[in-house]
Homo-oligomer: A and B are copies of this chain.
Amino acid sequence: MQASPDVSPAKWHLAHTTWFFEQFILKNHAENYEEFSKDSNALYNSYYETQGKIFPKSQRGLISRPTVAETFAYRDYVEQQVEAFLQTTPLTEEIADLMEVGLQHEQQHQELLITDTKYNFSINPTNPAIIPDHLSETTAAPREWLTFEEGLTEIGTNNIHFSFDNERPVHKYWIHPFSIATVPVTNREYMNFIEDGGYKEAGYWLSEGWSIVKQEQWEAPLYWEKHEGEWYAYSLQGLKKVNPEEPVTHISYYEADAFSRWAGFRLPTEQEWEHAFSGYSTEGHFVEAETYHPAPVDKPEHVYGNVWEWTRSPYAPYPNNRPLEGALGEYNAKFMSNQMVLRGGSCATPQSHIRSTYRNFFPPEKRWQFSGIRLAKDE
Protein backbone atom coordinates (compact mmCIF):
# COMPACT_ATOMS: atom_id res chain seq x y z
CA MET A 1 0.00 0.00 0.00
CA GLN A 2 1.21 3.49 -0.87
CA ALA A 3 -0.99 6.37 0.22
CA SER A 4 1.04 9.17 -1.36
CA PRO A 5 3.88 9.51 -3.86
CA ASP A 6 6.13 10.57 -0.95
CA VAL A 7 5.94 7.23 0.78
CA SER A 8 6.71 3.66 -0.24
CA PRO A 9 5.05 0.36 0.63
CA ALA A 10 6.67 -1.68 3.38
CA LYS A 11 7.33 -4.50 0.91
CA TRP A 12 9.20 -2.14 -1.34
CA HIS A 13 11.49 -0.94 1.45
CA LEU A 14 12.30 -4.57 2.24
CA ALA A 15 13.09 -5.37 -1.37
CA HIS A 16 14.89 -2.16 -2.26
CA THR A 17 17.42 -2.36 0.57
CA THR A 18 18.11 -5.95 -0.43
CA TRP A 19 18.52 -4.92 -4.06
CA PHE A 20 21.10 -2.36 -2.94
CA PHE A 21 23.41 -5.14 -1.67
CA GLU A 22 22.71 -7.31 -4.69
CA GLN A 23 23.26 -4.54 -7.22
CA PHE A 24 26.29 -2.78 -5.79
CA ILE A 25 28.11 -5.65 -4.08
CA LEU A 26 27.10 -9.10 -5.29
CA LYS A 27 26.62 -8.36 -8.99
CA ASN A 28 29.79 -6.30 -9.19
CA HIS A 29 32.09 -8.24 -6.90
CA ALA A 30 30.90 -11.77 -6.16
CA GLU A 31 32.13 -14.34 -8.66
CA ASN A 32 29.48 -16.33 -10.50
CA TYR A 33 26.73 -14.60 -8.61
CA GLU A 34 23.30 -15.62 -9.85
CA GLU A 35 20.54 -13.09 -9.51
CA PHE A 36 17.53 -14.11 -7.47
CA SER A 37 15.28 -12.80 -10.22
CA LYS A 38 15.82 -10.92 -13.44
CA ASP A 39 13.02 -8.55 -12.44
CA SER A 40 14.62 -7.07 -9.33
CA ASN A 41 16.44 -4.25 -11.05
CA ALA A 42 13.33 -3.13 -12.91
CA LEU A 43 11.27 -3.12 -9.73
CA TYR A 44 13.59 -1.98 -6.96
CA ASN A 45 15.93 0.63 -8.40
CA SER A 46 14.83 3.79 -6.63
CA TYR A 47 16.56 6.64 -8.43
CA TYR A 48 19.91 5.51 -9.76
CA GLU A 49 19.69 6.71 -13.37
CA THR A 50 22.93 4.93 -14.14
CA GLN A 51 21.49 1.56 -13.05
CA GLY A 52 18.80 1.16 -15.70
CA LYS A 53 15.16 2.10 -16.10
CA ILE A 54 13.42 3.34 -12.97
CA PHE A 55 9.93 2.14 -12.06
CA PRO A 56 7.84 5.23 -11.23
CA LYS A 57 7.97 5.97 -7.51
CA SER A 58 4.30 6.89 -7.39
CA GLN A 59 3.31 3.40 -8.57
CA ARG A 60 5.26 1.29 -6.11
CA GLY A 61 2.03 0.41 -4.34
CA LEU A 62 0.78 -1.30 -7.51
CA ILE A 63 3.33 -4.10 -7.56
CA SER A 64 1.38 -6.99 -6.08
CA ARG A 65 3.82 -9.54 -7.49
CA PRO A 66 6.37 -10.58 -6.21
CA THR A 67 4.34 -11.34 -3.08
CA VAL A 68 5.38 -10.59 0.48
CA ALA A 69 6.55 -14.19 0.90
CA GLU A 70 8.66 -13.96 -2.27
CA THR A 71 10.12 -10.72 -1.00
CA PHE A 72 11.24 -12.31 2.24
CA ALA A 73 12.72 -15.17 0.23
CA TYR A 74 14.65 -12.55 -1.77
CA ARG A 75 15.96 -11.02 1.44
CA ASP A 76 17.02 -14.42 2.78
CA TYR A 77 18.75 -15.33 -0.45
CA VAL A 78 20.73 -12.11 -0.70
CA GLU A 79 21.62 -12.18 2.98
CA GLN A 80 23.04 -15.67 2.64
CA GLN A 81 24.90 -14.73 -0.50
CA VAL A 82 26.42 -11.67 1.16
CA GLU A 83 27.48 -13.71 4.15
CA ALA A 84 29.04 -16.34 1.92
CA PHE A 85 30.76 -13.66 -0.10
CA LEU A 86 32.22 -11.99 2.98
CA GLN A 87 33.48 -15.31 4.30
CA THR A 88 35.21 -16.24 1.08
CA THR A 89 36.52 -12.89 -0.15
CA PRO A 90 39.21 -10.66 1.38
CA LEU A 91 37.62 -7.48 2.76
CA THR A 92 39.11 -4.72 0.62
CA GLU A 93 38.53 -1.10 1.52
CA GLU A 94 36.12 -0.78 -1.40
CA ILE A 95 34.00 -3.69 -0.21
CA ALA A 96 34.08 -2.46 3.38
CA ASP A 97 32.93 0.97 2.23
CA LEU A 98 30.12 -0.50 0.14
CA MET A 99 28.99 -2.68 3.03
CA GLU A 100 28.98 0.36 5.28
CA VAL A 101 26.92 2.37 2.76
CA GLY A 102 24.57 -0.59 2.39
CA LEU A 103 24.03 -0.80 6.13
CA GLN A 104 23.59 2.95 6.58
CA HIS A 105 21.19 2.88 3.64
CA GLU A 106 19.20 0.13 5.31
CA GLN A 107 19.02 2.21 8.51
CA GLN A 108 17.60 5.10 6.51
CA HIS A 109 14.92 2.83 5.12
CA GLN A 110 14.16 1.42 8.56
CA GLU A 111 13.31 4.97 9.54
CA LEU A 112 11.23 5.52 6.40
CA LEU A 113 9.46 2.24 7.04
CA ILE A 114 8.07 3.83 10.21
CA THR A 115 7.19 7.25 8.81
CA ASP A 116 5.68 5.72 5.69
CA THR A 117 3.70 3.07 7.53
CA LYS A 118 2.28 5.76 9.79
CA TYR A 119 1.20 7.80 6.79
CA ASN A 120 -0.27 4.77 5.06
CA PHE A 121 -2.37 3.80 8.06
CA SER A 122 -3.43 7.40 8.68
CA ILE A 123 -5.59 7.35 5.54
CA ASN A 124 -7.76 4.65 7.07
CA PRO A 125 -10.94 6.13 8.55
CA THR A 126 -10.83 3.52 11.31
CA ASN A 127 -7.53 4.89 12.72
CA PRO A 128 -5.88 1.52 13.27
CA ALA A 129 -3.77 1.15 16.43
CA ILE A 130 -0.77 -0.99 15.54
CA ILE A 131 1.30 -0.81 18.71
CA PRO A 132 0.36 -0.55 22.39
CA ASP A 133 -0.11 2.82 24.09
CA HIS A 134 2.97 4.53 25.46
CA LEU A 135 1.57 7.35 27.52
CA SER A 136 4.42 9.46 28.79
CA GLU A 137 3.86 11.35 32.02
CA THR A 138 7.08 13.29 31.80
CA THR A 139 7.06 17.08 31.78
CA ALA A 140 8.98 19.16 29.25
CA ALA A 141 11.94 21.13 30.58
CA PRO A 142 11.57 24.92 30.20
CA ARG A 143 13.29 26.64 27.30
CA GLU A 144 16.62 28.27 28.07
CA TRP A 145 19.17 29.76 25.70
CA LEU A 146 22.72 28.78 24.87
CA THR A 147 24.68 31.79 23.59
CA PHE A 148 27.69 31.73 21.25
CA GLU A 149 30.12 34.41 20.14
CA GLU A 150 31.22 35.20 16.64
CA GLY A 151 34.28 33.54 15.19
CA LEU A 152 35.70 31.00 12.81
CA THR A 153 34.49 27.45 13.36
CA GLU A 154 34.78 24.16 11.53
CA ILE A 155 31.82 22.44 9.97
CA GLY A 156 31.51 18.99 8.40
CA THR A 157 33.60 15.88 8.62
CA ASN A 158 36.42 14.07 6.85
CA ASN A 159 35.01 10.62 7.10
CA ILE A 160 36.68 8.88 9.97
CA HIS A 161 34.67 5.64 10.19
CA PHE A 162 31.66 6.67 8.10
CA SER A 163 29.95 9.74 6.71
CA PHE A 164 27.79 10.55 3.73
CA ASP A 165 29.32 12.53 0.89
CA ASN A 166 27.17 15.55 1.71
CA GLU A 167 28.80 16.00 5.15
CA ARG A 168 32.29 16.33 3.71
CA PRO A 169 34.81 17.92 3.88
CA VAL A 170 35.63 19.75 7.10
CA HIS A 171 35.69 23.44 6.21
CA LYS A 172 36.00 26.81 7.90
CA TYR A 173 32.86 28.82 8.51
CA TRP A 174 32.39 32.24 10.11
CA ILE A 175 29.77 32.15 12.83
CA HIS A 176 27.85 35.28 13.86
CA PRO A 177 26.77 35.76 17.48
CA PHE A 178 23.61 33.78 18.24
CA SER A 179 21.62 31.92 20.86
CA ILE A 180 19.90 28.58 20.43
CA ALA A 181 17.16 27.04 22.55
CA THR A 182 17.92 24.16 24.90
CA VAL A 183 14.70 22.29 24.02
CA PRO A 184 12.37 21.95 21.04
CA VAL A 185 9.01 23.72 20.80
CA THR A 186 6.17 21.81 22.51
CA ASN A 187 2.64 21.03 21.43
CA ARG A 188 1.45 23.47 24.11
CA GLU A 189 3.36 26.32 22.49
CA TYR A 190 2.19 25.27 19.07
CA MET A 191 -1.46 25.15 20.16
CA ASN A 192 -1.01 28.73 21.39
CA PHE A 193 0.20 29.66 17.92
CA ILE A 194 -2.88 28.04 16.38
CA GLU A 195 -5.24 29.69 18.82
CA ASP A 196 -3.61 33.04 18.31
CA GLY A 197 -4.57 32.78 14.64
CA GLY A 198 -1.16 31.72 13.36
CA TYR A 199 -2.67 29.92 10.38
CA LYS A 200 -4.84 32.93 9.49
CA GLU A 201 -2.25 35.72 9.42
CA ALA A 202 -0.25 36.00 6.19
CA GLY A 203 2.39 38.14 7.88
CA TYR A 204 4.01 35.16 9.60
CA TRP A 205 4.43 33.13 6.45
CA LEU A 206 6.77 32.81 3.54
CA SER A 207 4.88 33.47 0.33
CA GLU A 208 4.93 29.85 -0.85
CA GLY A 209 3.96 28.64 2.59
CA TRP A 210 0.96 30.93 2.67
CA SER A 211 -0.16 29.63 -0.72
CA ILE A 212 -0.09 26.08 0.60
CA VAL A 213 -1.88 26.98 3.82
CA LYS A 214 -4.74 28.40 1.77
CA GLN A 215 -4.75 25.73 -0.90
CA GLU A 216 -4.51 22.75 1.44
CA GLN A 217 -6.53 24.45 4.16
CA TRP A 218 -3.88 23.68 6.75
CA GLU A 219 -4.98 24.55 10.27
CA ALA A 220 -2.73 22.33 12.33
CA PRO A 221 0.12 19.80 11.95
CA LEU A 222 -0.39 16.72 9.81
CA TYR A 223 -2.42 14.00 11.59
CA TRP A 224 -4.15 16.48 13.92
CA GLU A 225 -7.97 16.56 14.11
CA LYS A 226 -10.20 18.61 16.35
CA HIS A 227 -13.07 16.87 18.12
CA GLU A 228 -15.31 18.80 20.46
CA GLY A 229 -12.74 21.51 21.03
CA GLU A 230 -9.84 19.15 21.73
CA TRP A 231 -6.91 18.33 19.47
CA TYR A 232 -6.27 14.69 18.67
CA ALA A 233 -3.44 13.22 16.62
CA TYR A 234 -3.07 9.93 14.83
CA SER A 235 -0.01 7.83 15.62
CA LEU A 236 0.73 4.13 15.38
CA GLN A 237 -0.96 3.96 18.78
CA GLY A 238 -4.23 5.11 17.18
CA LEU A 239 -6.00 8.43 17.54
CA LYS A 240 -4.97 10.02 20.86
CA LYS A 241 -5.43 13.39 22.54
CA VAL A 242 -2.45 15.65 21.84
CA ASN A 243 -0.04 15.71 24.76
CA PRO A 244 0.97 19.36 25.34
CA GLU A 245 4.31 18.37 26.84
CA GLU A 246 5.60 16.59 23.74
CA PRO A 247 7.63 18.34 21.05
CA VAL A 248 5.42 19.41 18.17
CA THR A 249 6.01 17.27 15.06
CA HIS A 250 4.78 16.60 11.52
CA ILE A 251 5.06 20.23 10.52
CA SER A 252 6.47 21.65 7.31
CA TYR A 253 9.38 24.07 7.11
CA TYR A 254 6.83 26.76 6.37
CA GLU A 255 5.03 26.07 9.64
CA ALA A 256 8.29 25.93 11.59
CA ASP A 257 9.36 29.23 10.07
CA ALA A 258 5.96 30.89 10.65
CA PHE A 259 5.90 29.71 14.26
CA SER A 260 9.37 31.10 14.88
CA ARG A 261 8.34 34.49 13.48
CA TRP A 262 5.17 34.50 15.58
CA ALA A 263 7.27 33.68 18.65
CA GLY A 264 9.65 36.55 17.91
CA PHE A 265 12.61 34.34 17.08
CA ARG A 266 13.98 32.50 14.07
CA LEU A 267 15.19 29.03 13.08
CA PRO A 268 18.90 28.27 13.44
CA THR A 269 21.20 27.75 10.46
CA GLU A 270 22.57 24.25 10.13
CA GLN A 271 26.03 25.58 10.99
CA GLU A 272 24.71 27.14 14.20
CA TRP A 273 23.06 23.84 15.10
CA GLU A 274 26.27 21.89 14.48
CA HIS A 275 28.47 24.48 16.21
CA ALA A 276 26.23 24.41 19.30
CA PHE A 277 25.75 20.68 19.63
CA SER A 278 28.76 18.93 18.11
CA GLY A 279 30.08 18.22 21.58
CA TYR A 280 26.87 16.60 22.85
CA SER A 281 26.46 12.88 23.23
CA THR A 282 23.99 11.39 20.75
CA GLU A 283 21.60 10.27 23.43
CA GLY A 284 17.88 10.74 23.51
CA HIS A 285 14.60 9.28 22.35
CA PHE A 286 15.29 7.09 19.29
CA VAL A 287 13.65 4.24 17.44
CA GLU A 288 14.99 1.82 20.04
CA ALA A 289 12.36 3.16 22.48
CA GLU A 290 9.78 1.54 20.19
CA THR A 291 7.14 4.21 20.74
CA TYR A 292 7.59 5.66 17.24
CA HIS A 293 6.41 8.92 18.70
CA PRO A 294 8.16 11.89 20.35
CA ALA A 295 8.39 12.07 24.12
CA PRO A 296 8.51 15.18 26.34
CA VAL A 297 12.09 16.45 26.59
CA ASP A 298 12.82 16.56 30.29
CA LYS A 299 16.60 16.46 29.85
CA PRO A 300 17.95 19.41 27.86
CA GLU A 301 21.15 17.51 27.17
CA HIS A 302 19.12 15.22 24.91
CA VAL A 303 19.32 17.36 21.78
CA TYR A 304 19.43 14.31 19.50
CA GLY A 305 16.42 12.11 18.72
CA ASN A 306 12.73 12.88 19.20
CA VAL A 307 12.19 15.22 16.21
CA TRP A 308 14.28 16.25 13.23
CA GLU A 309 14.77 19.99 13.57
CA TRP A 310 14.23 22.22 10.56
CA THR A 311 17.07 24.67 9.99
CA ARG A 312 16.83 27.81 7.87
CA SER A 313 19.61 26.44 5.63
CA PRO A 314 18.72 25.33 2.12
CA TYR A 315 20.41 22.06 1.24
CA ALA A 316 23.56 22.96 -0.72
CA PRO A 317 27.02 21.50 -1.26
CA TYR A 318 29.81 22.28 1.19
CA PRO A 319 32.87 24.15 -0.11
CA ASN A 320 35.25 21.77 -1.90
CA ASN A 321 32.74 18.96 -1.72
CA ARG A 322 33.38 16.23 -4.29
CA PRO A 323 30.46 13.97 -5.20
CA LEU A 324 31.31 10.27 -5.27
CA GLU A 325 32.11 8.73 -8.60
CA GLY A 326 29.81 6.19 -10.22
CA ALA A 327 26.31 5.30 -9.15
CA LEU A 328 26.82 6.28 -5.54
CA GLY A 329 27.51 9.80 -6.72
CA GLU A 330 23.76 9.97 -7.15
CA TYR A 331 23.25 9.29 -3.48
CA ASN A 332 22.90 12.81 -2.13
CA ALA A 333 24.22 15.51 -4.39
CA LYS A 334 21.52 15.44 -7.00
CA PHE A 335 18.85 16.48 -4.53
CA MET A 336 20.44 19.86 -3.84
CA SER A 337 17.57 22.09 -4.94
CA ASN A 338 14.39 23.16 -3.21
CA GLN A 339 15.15 21.26 -0.01
CA MET A 340 15.92 22.41 3.54
CA VAL A 341 18.37 20.82 5.98
CA LEU A 342 17.15 19.14 9.17
CA ARG A 343 19.38 18.11 12.05
CA GLY A 344 19.45 15.79 15.05
CA GLY A 345 17.46 12.63 14.27
CA SER A 346 14.01 11.57 15.47
CA CYS A 347 12.08 8.95 17.40
CA ALA A 348 12.20 6.86 14.21
CA THR A 349 15.96 7.09 13.70
CA PRO A 350 18.30 4.29 14.86
CA GLN A 351 20.55 5.81 17.49
CA SER A 352 23.73 4.52 15.87
CA HIS A 353 22.77 6.26 12.65
CA ILE A 354 22.95 9.83 13.92
CA ARG A 355 25.94 12.15 14.43
CA SER A 356 26.55 15.86 14.85
CA THR A 357 27.46 16.40 11.19
CA TYR A 358 24.49 14.44 9.81
CA ARG A 359 22.44 16.40 7.25
CA ASN A 360 18.92 15.26 6.54
CA PHE A 361 16.90 17.17 3.93
CA PHE A 362 13.28 17.46 2.78
CA PRO A 363 11.29 19.83 0.62
CA PRO A 364 9.90 22.69 2.72
CA GLU A 365 6.25 21.64 2.26
CA LYS A 366 6.58 18.03 3.46
CA ARG A 367 5.09 16.98 6.77
CA TRP A 368 5.11 13.20 7.02
CA GLN A 369 8.55 13.13 8.71
CA PHE A 370 8.94 13.51 12.46
CA SER A 371 9.98 17.12 11.93
CA GLY A 372 9.95 19.77 14.66
CA ILE A 373 11.24 23.17 15.76
CA ARG A 374 14.19 24.46 17.76
CA LEU A 375 14.32 28.24 18.07
CA ALA A 376 17.31 30.54 17.68
CA LYS A 377 17.97 34.28 17.76
CA ASP A 378 20.61 36.82 16.80
CA GLU A 379 22.78 38.25 19.55
Q: Show the binding face of A for B, using Cβ within 8 Å.
A: 1-3, 39, 42-43, 47, 49-50, 55, 59, 61-65, 120-121, 123-126, 128, 150, 152, 171-174, 176, 202-203, 205-210, 253-254, 312-314, 316-317, 319-320, 329-330, 334-338, 340, 364, 378
Contact = CB atoms under 8 A, between A and B. Distances in A.
A126 B70 CA distance: 14
Contacts of A378: 319-320
Contacts of A205: 334
Contact of A39 (B2, B126, B203, B338): B126
A123 B336 contact: no
B174 A172 contact: yes
A55 to B, nearest CB: 7
Given A316-B312, A378-B319, A124 B63 contact: yes
Given A1-B61, A171-B176, A314-B314, 10 more contacts: A1-B62, A3-B62, A42-B125, A47-B207, A62-B124, A63-B124, A176-B320, A206-B335, A206-B337, A320-B378
Number of copies: 4
Given A150-B172, A176-B319, A123 B62 contact: yes
Which of A1, A65, A202, A337 neighbours the largest number of chain B CB atoms within 10 Å of its CB? A337
B124 A335 contact: no
Contacts of A176: 171-172, 319-320
A312 B317 contact: yes
Contact of A55 (B125, B207, B330): B125
